[in-house]
Every structure is written in structure tokens, then in C-alpha cells.
Amino acid sequence: MHIYDSVKKEKLPFEPLIDDEVSIYVCGPTVYDDAHLGHARSSLSFDLLARTLKALGYSVTMAKNFTDIDDKIIKKVRESGRSIEELTTYYIDRYLSDMDAINVLRSDIEPKATESMDAIESMIARLIKLGFAYRIDSGDVYFDTSRDAKYGDISHMVSDDTVSRIEHTSQKRSSKDFALWKACNDSDDICFDAAFSSGRPGWHIECSAMIEKHFEGNDEYSIDIHGGGADLLFPHHENEAAQSRCATGREVAKYWMHNGFVQIDGEKMSKSLGNSFFLKDALEVYDGEILRYYLNSIHYRNDFNFNEEDLLVSKRRLDKLYRLKKRVSPTKPTNPSSRFKSALLSAMSDDLNISVALSVVDDMIMETNEKLDNNPKDKVLKRETLANIELVDQILGVGYRDPFEYFQIGIEQELKDEIEALLLVRAEAKKVKDFATSDRIRDQLTTMGISIMDSPEGTQWEKLL
């Protein structure tokens, strides 16, 4: 396995801290709203990573946090009149069910900030005690970036005070310093008691604290891989790394991976630009598995320009996989072809080279179709092929459905019966060579959005998209 480390900016051979074990921490969402396509892409990227590492034989432990306390959440609590627990629980459930819809494997650990307050408080207290952090009169606690010689090594950001756009707080020693703890201001703030003040954690500290709480690591690092969106590199990961380094005496992660953005019409998707696209809205229009294939079809580090035309191309590619699955069903899978397996794993082992991986899948489909054209009853081939498709599911997370149902997504039983009835009439017409009638029925089905294909074994139909 080779991984592109976005801190070292080079592709490196992956060597885990502990043999055959991999620890991954991914920055999860702040739960004050529904998940958008960007969350989906991030989830999907690291899902691919976890699946690949598992297929390579590693035992993977993945954590993804939920930030369930912060300014935006408090704002929403005030606006909605709902309790914070009610609100965050709702959005956590929404997030998980949306991710389920695109077949993202659940993380092994899903820590919440509010359930990690002990770890957070203890880390902040330690940073104060060691002189890496200071408390100001308001009760806020800041990290003193000047005390960390390695501050800046993660993002390579040489931030100059004169051009910094960060607001200066009068008592902050440097504009680069950041909040570890924010004291309560208003009476209706949501606060937690701590030794330094009643307040709530800053944005970055929870990740450091959770990693310390849930992972052992070794003398040098706490975890193997730290992931997140490209926008988190600075300041979030820079600050997180600094906190962890100073509090624990070791680096937080050996490898850093950052996924690229989802763009709409060539621009970053964001709330402020008003072009954000909720995953749940996309799921109302497009099937989750097709969305998954599409969102994963481009390398995770590249920017992703979301558009329907490309999504339909992805659907066509996935259709081919399912047509092959139809051809080999029903049968019992044996073992995947070793040539196919090694080609697929080798592609994914190269920093998740999905383009090559998908072309390996396409090659397998084409070769198998050709062989089946020549020998339609090759049982051994069929069984191996089904195992190949199961491997595709295991590593890429697509192709898991019943192939006949796949082509009938969204078709009601009533319509199915109607289609079957029409096909019966058409079969009769064909039998007596009444092609005018059979073609008329085919046209009728096309109008209904149904594509049909004749074969020696009978006529099959598919829903056109």
C-alpha cells in the first residue's frame, strides 16, 4: 500500500505502527444540518481506504467523530427551540442513514464531543500546566503557538500577523493562538463546567482528545492515518497536531490524507455560496448506489465537479456490471480470479487509484462477456465471476444488489405486471412473425421508460433512466 501524505506532499509506502493493524481517524461532521455531497465524498473516500486496507489483510479500526457542540449548533438550538440533545441526535441519525444509503461502512468508533468532555478537560489542563496554553480573564483558554517550535509544519502556512484575517482578541498573545476553551458569555449558552471556567471546547481540541482516549499508538505516533477534507488542513489539523504534540509528546498521526472538494459548476459547494447540495436531496433523485459509484469514480484528492451528465455515465458503467451479474445468476460463488484480484488490489494499493481499479473491473466484465458469448454455459466461469463481483462489492462497495432488482429500481409492482403482460403479448406476436405488433409493443414500452432485450432465453427488460 502506498499513500500520498498531504503533509509531506509525497506518496509513501504505508508502514503501520503495529503490524497488520491500522488506526484511522477521520474528522466527521458538525451536526447542525443535513449532510451534503461534500460530507458524502469525504466519507466515501475513507470508506474506500478502509475497505482496501481490510482487503489487503489489515485489521482496521476507524474512528469518525461527531462535533455536537459549537457556535452553529447553539445558534440553531436557540432558533429552533429544540434541546441540543434533540437537535444533534436528529442530525446524527440523519447523517448515518444518508451514509448507509451510499453504502458507507460504519466507523468502529463514533465519538461525540459532548461524551468526551473528561478527555478534553484533562488535555487542556495538561497543556496549561505544561505552559503550552494560557487562560485569559474572560475564562477563555488559548494555545500558545509560540511555544510549539513545530507549529506550521503540518500546513506549511507561514501566517504573517499583518495580513492575517483572524480577528485579534486583545488578550491573545498572538493572532496565531487559537481557543482551546471558550468561556460562557450569555446565560443561555450551553456550558460545561471545567477547572478553568464554565464553557465549551474550541473546535480543534476534541479531535486531539478523542484520539488520545481511543487509540494506543506507539512512542512516536498516536494513530496511523488522519483524514479529512482538504479545507481542514489549516487551521484545523495544524492546531490539532500542535495540541496533541505538546500534550502527549508525540505526533498525532503518521500519515495525513485529505480529500478534494465537491464543486458545483466549477465552484466550491458551500452554504455561503448558496449552491450546497444535500445528500438527502440527491438521494431523492438518484439511487444511492449510483451516487456512490459516481462520487467514488474520481480520485479522492481531485476536485469533483458534480453534474448529472457524468452521473449518468457512471450509471451506464454500473449497468454493465449488473448485466454481467444477471448473466451469471443464479449461481454459487467460488473464489475470485487471482489475476483479477491482484490487479484490483494493486490499483487500489496505489493511493486508491480508482480510475485504474474501475478499468480493471471493466476489463473483467468485457473478458467474461466474451467468454460467455462463446460458451454460455460455462459454470466454472459463472461461479468465479460471481465471486469477482462480490470482490468488487467488498472493495469498492458496489454491485451488491440482486441484478434483476437493480434494473427495476422505482418500478411499482402494478407496472411490473403490466410490463410482463405486454411482453407476453409481444412474445406471442413474435412467434407468429407479427413484427408490426411486436415492434409497436416495444415502442410502447420505450415510451414507458422501459428498454427490452431479446435473447434465446427470452426477453428481459430494464428501466431506462
Partner RNA sequence: GGAGCCAUCGCCAAGUGGUAAGGCCGCAGCCUGCAAAGCUGCUAUCCCCGGUUCAAAUCCGGGUGGCUCCUCCA
Taking CB under 7 A as the criterion, which residues in 350-409 touch RNA?
350-351, 353, 355-356, 358-359, 362-363, 365-366, 369-370, 372-373
Give the nearest distance from C-beta 60 to RNA in angstroms. Answer: 19
Q: Examine residue 297 and tell whether it contacts RNA (CB under 7 A).
A: yes
Give the nearest distance from C-beta 20 to RNA in angstroms. Answer: 26
Distance, CA of 316 to CA of 22 (rounded, Å): 35
Q: Where are the beta strands (DSSP E) in 343-436?
A: none
Residues linked to residue 181 through DSSP beta bridges, in sequence order: 141, 201
Residues 234-253 that bind RNA (CB under 7 A): 234-236
In this chain, which stretch among 17-25, 149-157, 191-199, 248-256 interacts with RNA, using CB under 7 A?
149-157
In this chain, which stretch among 101-109, 182-190, 224-232, 403-411 interacts with RNA, using CB under 7 A?
224-232
Q: Examine residue 299 and tell whether it contacts RNA (CB under 7 A).
A: yes
Closest CB to RNA among 219 and 457? Answer: 457
In this structure, are residues 241 and 252 in contact, taking their beta carbons and an 8 Å threshold? Answer: yes
DSSP 8-state assignment for residue 11: E
Helices in 186-337 by DSSP H: which ranges?
A: 205-214, 238-248, 279-285, 288-295, 308-328
In this chain, which stretch among 32-40, 106-114, 145-153, 392-400 interacts with RNA, using CB under 7 A?
32-40
Q: Which residue type, as a one-letter code, is found at position 39? A: H
Q: What are phi and psi of 424, to 5 degrees?
A: -65, -45
Q: Examine residue 317 and tell whether it contacts RNA (CB under 7 A).
A: yes
Would you mind telling me the total number of residues written for the chain in this entry? Answer: 465
Among residues 253, 400, 342, 294, which one has the least CA distance to residue 55? 342
Q: Examine residue 455 and tell whether it contacts RNA (CB under 7 A).
A: yes
| Contact flags string 254-293 toward RNA, x per CB under 7 A | -----xxxxx--xxxxxxx---------------------
Residue among 8, 10, 59, 72 that touches RNA (CB under 7 A): 72
Rg (the chain; Cα; Å)? 27
Q: Measured at the alpha carbon of residue 352, what is the angle toward residues 350 and 357, in degrees to the nearest 5?
A: 90
Distance, CA of 303 to CA of 58 (rounded, Å): 29
Q: Examine residue 443 and tell whether it contacts RNA (CB under 7 A).
A: no
Q: Examine residue 298 and tell whether it contacts RNA (CB under 7 A).
A: yes
Residue among 1, 3, 23, 38 that touches RNA (CB under 7 A): 38
Distance, CA of 62 to CA of 107 (rounded, Å): 5
Q: Examine residue 316 and tell whether it contacts RNA (CB under 7 A).
A: yes
Q: Which residue type, as a one-letter code, is found at position 189? A: D
Give the nearest distance from C-beta 442 to RNA in angstroms. Answer: 7
Q: Which residue type, as a one-letter code, is found at position 135? A: R
Closest CB to RNA among 196 and 203? Answer: 203
In this chain, which stretch among 16-24, 182-190, 228-236, 413-421 interacts with RNA, using CB under 7 A?
228-236
Q: Measured at the alpha carbon of residue 26, what is the angle toward residues 22 and 28, in degrees to the nearest 5?
A: 150
Residue among 156, 168, 339, 379 that touches RNA (CB under 7 A): 156
Among residues 27, 16, 38, which one has the least CA distance to residue 276? 38
Give the nearest distance from C-beta 134 to RNA in angstroms. Answer: 19
Residues 322-341 that bind RNA (CB under 7 A): 323
Q: Which residue type, as a one-letter code, is found at position 116? A: S
Closest CB to RNA among 50 and 365? Answer: 365
Give the nearest distance from C-beta 307 to RNA in angstroms. Answer: 8
Q: Which residue type, as a one-letter code, is found at position 429? A: A
Residues 80-139 that bind RNA (CB under 7 A): none
Q: Which residue type, as a one-letter code, is found at position 382? A: K
Closest CB to RNA among 303 and 402? Answer: 303
Give the nearest distance from C-beta 73 to RNA in angstroms. Answer: 10
User: Could you tell me whether strands 198-201 and 178-183 are parallel, antiparallel, or unpaired per DSSP bridges?
Assistant: antiparallel
Q: Where are the beta strands (DSSP E) in 102-190?
A: 133-135, 141-143, 178-183
Give the nearest distance from C-beta 256 to RNA in angstroms. Answer: 12
